């Protein structure tokens, strides 16, 4: 349930538009990385409007964390928020499991509410549920406030995946000690970036967690491990499979926008066509706004209505393409596009005009992460990709990060720290009790593990699935394949726990 | 070949004497952690005098490292020194292995010269040999100089094991890329603290190294994993097994020293008895000096003459006890002790008087490490231990660190980061290709892994072995058990490489 990677997408599109000469445009597309343009609907509002909004019970607690686990610089500690529910837990005597969700780049309450799977299965496992928040997101702010934490590269410098994993490890170790539950098995869950954290934590801290369900976790989206075109090719195919005309309209639209943008009053015209509350400053903003919508749509192309990023109908891409294709003859490409993306930005129809740069879920820290460790090279191939062609250029990327944050990325660090090249060999030998679940409609699936690696490192791939749909609460609309996928996950997790209990029993019996 | 843990010992004795009320003394034993009192013989001098000093060929290179791998604070990089020899390497086409020694807390040249095993076996493996230096030791100084690096807690704050492991990982990854040798298998070696690093690196970076020989690596010497008395009990037993009278004389000596120290001119008298160049400032200094000698003697109780810490005869403890026991009747306890420890501090007989606080191998950074991550609780049991009785007290320890460095230790961090509790279960499931070699005379053996854990996590234990004797160059004096131990190590390492080559071949054949 992490939109995390939405952010990757967003960041990339920012770079895409900013650092590169688009097809037919000479506009100065130079803006810093920016955030998902999730328009003006704050999440709270979405929840109120949503009949099926779940109600999960938990206690909110705070844990004092080291800001830098790997140095002894005298730094202020910070309060990490975590949500905890022990009402189903069978306790330490019976070695009740601890379900531990690896919080990702946003408010943990939002993730908790969108990770119904963990809440739903906890009772049958007699499990405690813990949702720790990722540092620098939600309320878990170093230096006392978001403003201070995000002030500059110095204050942001401790926003890294390794520090977050250390937070999780210290927290769960302390929690278990305090509950006299050191022997209770910990099972990790995570989606998107959180799924990457879950997988990495299982690999780096095997003494702490017995297994991990890593949903839609693109741990291979680094360096040259997967083709750079993968992400945008999948987004594009998601549209093409609904309608090749739809795909072509979108592909055509970029140049149209660029051409109009260059004319006198072109930006005003575009702003009117797309109903922005304020005139656009540059065409790149519109590009990004559209790219965000298509990317997110591909991620949340769920088979039933859902409100993860935005309130959307089931099969939203089908809906978008219906609108793009289904206009009267003579309707301009941009009017078609406008009507199409309204499915994403304004499905409720309540929005009168759009604002750019909203960040209702507080996800913007991802831009920093993308400018430091999370360098995911992506390109757009002119033949297969419906976005403006783009060839990833590391120098431009680096330059963008330096100018935005004054920070230089370390593009090889993640694979050095966590591996990635020849992942099969590594996971076969060292990994176990890992589930990589992926839906092939999800553009992030291309950077994940899609094949079984061993008996206990398993890939669950669904053709019609999108971004970690399996982590969401069950609904009456769930297709059979989703019901089956979740049942398999439950069976595998049960296997890990049973195996753990048997080994522990064997140790007690000795 | 790491005296590393000599330091642990030294540090402990410092705390032991400083933070605790000794038996019959009211002296204010309050001094900060200090360093091995290796007297006035600089290592260089020892080498010149030593006929069998080996000559290993290597090139010295420097690699630019991040000071903090886990944050993006803008910090100066530093030059990490490493020694490299490629003359036996069969190259990337033939997947020639890379033997990578995990440098520990001292000058890497010294370790390289005392790790003959790696040099000797490299040719038969067609292996490259790399000896990277540990940050903050030798020439690998952040902030340009030792003086700057050790200036205060802020400059020292990046001296941690995790940073060192990241240095190694980044270095070897870069090295392999530059040599087009990304597929070449890396085998790790390390002794003492370096052995801990080798084992941890194998566990934390399995994608980087295919196996590790961790010699005398006390990875379990943390928290309550092994009994606190283990270390000093082993030292004491090493003396007792040679002679119980010797053991008793030593046990008796502490109170004698304390009593004399309290008298008028007592410190002068003690200084004369022990031939110090300058009068002692406090009896604790003498205690530490003696404790250091006994601890080191137990570590290097090798069966043949060697010059690791100091030039020593074979079976040096036997020699010490011969001198302590073999005096004329009526000789005082302290005169006996003086003659005994001369075996350690002055075997060549060239020293006219002794100085305190020399640190010829530049090991003093260990005190910082012991005051941050490497908190190894040790106690001395009045019955079994020949040292002044001592019960480890964490508050005192912490207080000592705060007053010495202004830093607060994190005593639970190492086991959180690397595991340690229930090591069998963890290593059985996640470890492979690991050798833990230990000699039971070595006091550090008590904190290491002494039993086979699986087919590929193997404990090689020798009854008459001391501190990572197996890593030293072979000599004509090697006892059969040592020859056999090294042969087993070679066989196991060959097995790892063969397995790796076969898997790689299988991949190429696919």
Please give the residue that has the higher pLDDT: either A156 or B508.
A156
Q: Average pLDDT of B227-240?
A: 96
Nearest to B173 among A169, A208, A416 (CB): A416
Q: What angle do CA B141, B147, B151 make, to 5 degrees?
A: 100
Nearest to A72 among B157, B417, B420 (CB): B157
Look up A383 and say whether it is catalytic. Answer: no
In this predicted model, what pLDDT tens digit does every residue of A180-197 receive, in sequence order?
999 999 999 999 999 999
Determine contact: A179 vs chain B, CB below 8 A.
Answer: no
User: What is d(CA B398, CA B384) in angstroms, rounded to the nearest whole number?
Assistant: 26
In this predicted model, what pLDDT tens digit does every residue of B65-97 receive, in sequence order?
999 999 999 999 999 999 999 999 999 999 999
Task: Provide the shortest C-alpha distance from residue A187 to chain B (in Å).
Answer: 15
Which of B187, B250, B2 is CA-nearest to residue B111?
A: B2
Containing B306, the helix (H) or strand (E) segment is: strand B306-307
- Among A408, A416, A457, most B C-beta atoms within 10 A, so best to mutate, is A416
> Cβ separation of A72 and B429 shorter than 8 Å?
no
In this predicted model, what pLDDT tens digit does every residue of B301-344 receive, in sequence order?
999 988 777 789 999 999 999 999 999 999 999 999 999 999 99
User: What is d(CA A3, CA A462) in angstroms, rounded to the nearest whole number?
Assistant: 19
Task: Provide the shortest C-alpha distance from residue B244 to chain A (in Å).
Answer: 37
Q: In what order do the strands lie in the sheet with B98-101?
A: B59-65, B78-85, B128-132, B98-101, B186-191, B211-215, B434-439, B457-462
DSSP state of B102: -
Strands B78-85 and B59-65 come out as antiparallel
User: What is d(CA A87, CA A406) in angstroms, rounded to the nearest whole number?
Assistant: 47
> Cβ separation of B412 and A162 shorter than 8 Å?
no
Nearest to A430 among B206, B419, B426 (CB): B206
**Cα nearest neighbour of B415 on chain A:** A207
Please count the other Cβ atoms lying within 10 Å of the Cβ belonging to residue A76: 10
> Cβ separation of A153 and B421 shorter than 8 Å?
no
Q: Do residues B488 and B465 touch, judged by C-beta distance below 8 A?
A: no
- Count of all residues that appear for chain B in the document: 510
Strands B306-307 and B311-312 come out as antiparallel
DSSP state of A422: B
Q: Do residues A275 and A353 touch, judged by C-beta distance below 8 A?
A: yes
Q: Do residues A247 and A386 touch, judged by C-beta distance below 8 A?
A: yes
Look up A169 and say whether it is catalytic. Answer: no
Q: What is the pLDDT of residue B428?
A: 86
Question: Above 90 in pLDDT, residue B424?
Answer: no
User: What is d(CA A40, CA A53) in angstroms, rounded to the nearest whole number?
Assistant: 20
Mean confidence (pLDDT) of chain B = 88
pTM of the model: 0.90
Task: Work out the pLDDT band at B463, boundaries 50, 70, 90.
Answer: very high
Q: In what order do the strands lie in the sheet with A59-65?
A: A59-65, A78-85, A128-132, A98-101, A186-191, A211-215, A434-439, A457-462
Q: Virtual CA dihedral for A258, A259, A261, A263, nearest 10 degrees?
A: 160
Question: Above 70 in pLDDT, residue B99?
Answer: yes
* Token duo for residue A315: 């099969």
Q: What is the pLDDT of residue A33?
A: 26
Per-block mean pLDDT, blocks of 10 residues, chain A (510 long): 37 38 28 26 31 76 98 96 97 97 95 96 98 97 96 96 98 97 97 97 95 97 96 97 97 96 94 95 92 93 84 94 96 96 92 78 82 95 94 94 94 97 86 95 96 96 95 94 98 97 72
Question: Above 90 in pLDDT, residue B204?
Answer: yes
User: What is d(CA B2, CA B196) in angstroms, rounded to the nearest whole number?
Assistant: 11
> Cβ separation of A417 and B169 shorter than 8 Å?
yes
Catalytic residue among A192, A216, A253, A307, which? A192
Q: What is the pLDDT of residue A27?
A: 25
DSSP state of B328: P
Contacts of B176 in chain A (CB under 8 A): none
In this predicted model, what pLDDT tens digit does every residue of A478-499 receive, in sequence order?
999 999 999 999 999 999 999 9
Percent of chain B clearing pLDDT 70 (strictly above): 87
3-state secondary structure of B480: helix
Q: What is the pLDDT of residue A55?
A: 78
Containing A129, the helix (H) or strand (E) segment is: strand A128-132
**Cα nearest neighbour of B72 on chain A:** A157
Contacts 24+ apart (CB under 8 A), B236-240: B236/B384, B236/B385, B236/B386, B236/B387, B237/B384, B238/B297, B238/B298, B238/B301, B238/B317, B238/B441, B238/B443, B239/B294, B239/B298, B239/B317, B239/B320, B239/B321, B239/B386, B240/B386
| Residue A505 vs residues A496, A497, B427, B451: alpha-carbon distances, Å | 14, 12, 18, 21
Nearest to B162 among A70, A421, A422 (CB): A70
Question: Above 90 in pLDDT, residue B11?
Answer: no
Q: What angle do CA A107, A112, A113 make, to 5 degrees?
A: 100
Q: Average pLDDT of B461-470?
A: 95
DSSP state of A63: E
* Token duo for residue A118: 């963990």
Q: What is the pLDDT of residue A425?
A: 85
B 146-165 → A contacts, CB under 8 A: 153-154, 156-158, 160, 162-163
Look up A31 and say whether it is catalytic. Answer: no
Contacts of A407 in chain B (CB under 8 A): 72, 74
Containing B411, the helix (H) or strand (E) segment is: none
3-state secondary structure of B354: strand
Catalytic residue among A442, A445, A448, A478, which? A442
Task: Work out the pLDDT band at B505, boundaries 50, 70, 90.
Answer: confident
């Amino acid at each position: 349930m992490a939109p995390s990677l939405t952010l990757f997408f967003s960041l990339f599109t920012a770079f895409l538009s900013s650092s590169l000469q688009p097809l037919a445009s000479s506009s100065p597309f130079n803006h810093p990385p920016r955030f998902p343009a999730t328009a003006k609907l704050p999440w709270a509002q979405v929840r109120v409007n949503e009949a099926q909004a779940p109600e999960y019970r938990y206690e909110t607690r705070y844990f004092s964390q080291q800001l830098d686990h790997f140095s002894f610089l005298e730094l202020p500690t910070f309060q990490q928020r975590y949500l905890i529910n022990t009402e189903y837990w069978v306790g330490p005597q019976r070695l009740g499991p601890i379900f531990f969700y690896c919080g990702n780049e946003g408010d943990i309450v939002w993730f908790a509410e969108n990770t119904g799977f963990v809440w739903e299965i906890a009772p049958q496992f007699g499990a405690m549920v813990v949702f720790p928040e990722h540092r620098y997101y939600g309320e878990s702010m170093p230096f006392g406030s978001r403003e201070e934490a995000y002030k500059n590269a110095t204050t942001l410098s401790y926003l890294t995946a390794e520090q977050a994993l250390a937070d999780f490890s210290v927290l769960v170790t302390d929690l278990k000690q305090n509950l006299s539950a050191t022997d209770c098995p910990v099972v990790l869950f995570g989606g998107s970036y959180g799924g990457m954290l879950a997988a990495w934590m299982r690999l780096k801290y095997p003494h702490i967690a017995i297994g991990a369900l890593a949903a839609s976790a693109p741990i291979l989206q680094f360096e040259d491990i997967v083709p750079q075109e993968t992400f945008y090719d999948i987004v594009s195919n998601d549209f093409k499979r609904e309608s090749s005309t739809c795909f072509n309209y979108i592909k055509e639209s970029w140049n149209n926008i660029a051409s109009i943008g260059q004319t006198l009053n072109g930006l005003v015209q575009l702003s009117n066509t797309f109903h922005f509350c304020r005139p656009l400053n540059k065409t790149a903003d519109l590009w990004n706004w559209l790219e965000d919508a298509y990317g997110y749509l591909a991620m949340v192309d769920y088979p039933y209505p859902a409100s993860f990023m935005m309130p959307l109908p089931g099969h939203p891409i089908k809906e978008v393409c219906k609108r793009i294709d289904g206009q009267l003859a003579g309707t301009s490409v941009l009017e078609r596009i406008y009507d199409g993306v309204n499915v994403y930005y304004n499905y409720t129809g309540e929005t009168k005009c759009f604002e750019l740069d909203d960040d209702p879920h507080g996800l913007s820290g991802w831009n920093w992460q993308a400018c430091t460790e999370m360098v995911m090279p992506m390109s757009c191939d002119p033949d297969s990709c419906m976005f403006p062609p783009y060839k990833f250029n590391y120098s431009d990327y680096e330059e963008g990060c330096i100018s935005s944050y004054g920070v230089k990325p370390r593009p090889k660090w993640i694979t050095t720290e966590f591996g990635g090249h020849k992942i099969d060999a590594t996971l076969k030998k060292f990994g176990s009790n890992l589930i990589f679940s992926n839906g092939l409609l999800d553009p992030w699936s291309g950077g994940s593990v899609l094949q079984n690696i061993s008996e206990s490192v398993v890939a669950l791939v669904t053709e019609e699935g999108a971004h970690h749909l399996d982590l969401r609460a069950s609904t009456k609309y769930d297709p059979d394949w989703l019901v089956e996928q979740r049942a398999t996950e439950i069976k595998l997790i049960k296997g890990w726990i049973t195996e753990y209990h048997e080994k522990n029993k064997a140790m007690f019996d000795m």
